[in-house]
Amino acid sequence: MRLLFRILIRLGILKNDLDYHLIRASMVIIFLFFGYSKWFSYEAQGLIPLISHGPLIFWLYPVFGIRGAGRFLGSSEWLFCVLLFSGFWNKKLGVLGAIGACFAFISTITIIPFLPDAWAKSAGGFPAMTDMVAFLMKDIGLLAMSVYLLRQDLIRALRSTTTSVPLAAAHVQQTASVVPHSY
């Protein structure tokens, strides 16, 4: 066991923020690829049973139509992707991306109770999932990852604004006392 621990430590598993950066990179990749697929007809058709039973997203079809709903979702996912990616450098943009990700996954998780034939009758029903429910269940983990990023980015954004203001004020005060005024 000690050998395993030493190997993991050498691989950098304990480096600061490794988990944070891996989760952010994973979320960026997920939104990039999922957003891309929404632009194609095969995905738009595959989403019909999900969107039409989603209590938070059912309105997409009457407003945008089938292809338009897919494009709307794809554009939204790409926006979240860009905001999450920007969060590597700008924590405030990361907060916005994480909020968008949370909303996206809450929207998909809430489909589960309303999805007809969600539980495999041939296996006795609940908790035996059908493919559609199994596909949506991953969003519970992705929501947890989004909440983690939201919390981390919010902490870091608040820390940078609350510490930078007093430091900047102290720097201005120090500079003003050293540099004589010239009129």
Residue by residue, pLDDT tens for the chain (183 residues) are 888 888 878 877 777 888 899 999 999 999 999 999 999 999 999 999 999 999 999 999 999 999 999 999 999 999 999 999 999 999 999 999 999 999 999 999 999 989 888 787 777 767 777 888 888 999 999 999 999 999 999 999 999 877 554 544 444 445 444 444 443
Reference 55, options 108, 104, 133, 101; nearest CA is 108
Residue 113 burial class via C-beta count within 10 angstroms: exposed 0-12, middle 13-18, buried 19 and up: exposed
Q: Extract the tokens encoding 47.
A: 């989403």
The one-letter amino acid code at 56 reads L
Please give the Cα distance from 36 to 83 (Å, whole number). Answer: 16
H or E element, residue 139: helix 131-178
Q: State the distance between the two ends of the chain, measured CA to CA, in whole angstroms.
A: 72
Give DSSP secondary structure letters for 28-40: HHHHHHHHHHTTS
pTM for this predicted structure: 0.79
Cα 64 to Cα 151: distance, rounded to the nearest angstrom: 33
Where does residue 62 fall: left (phi above 0), alpha (psi -120 to 50 degrees), or beta otherwise? alpha
pLDDT for the residue 163: 58
Of 45, 103, 44, give the one whose Cα is nearest residue 74. Answer: 44
Q: What whole-number distance in Å separates Cα of residue 146 and Cα of residue 128?
A: 27
CB 145 within 8 A of CB 162: no
For residue 80, give the nearest of 157, 145, 158 by alpha carbon.
145
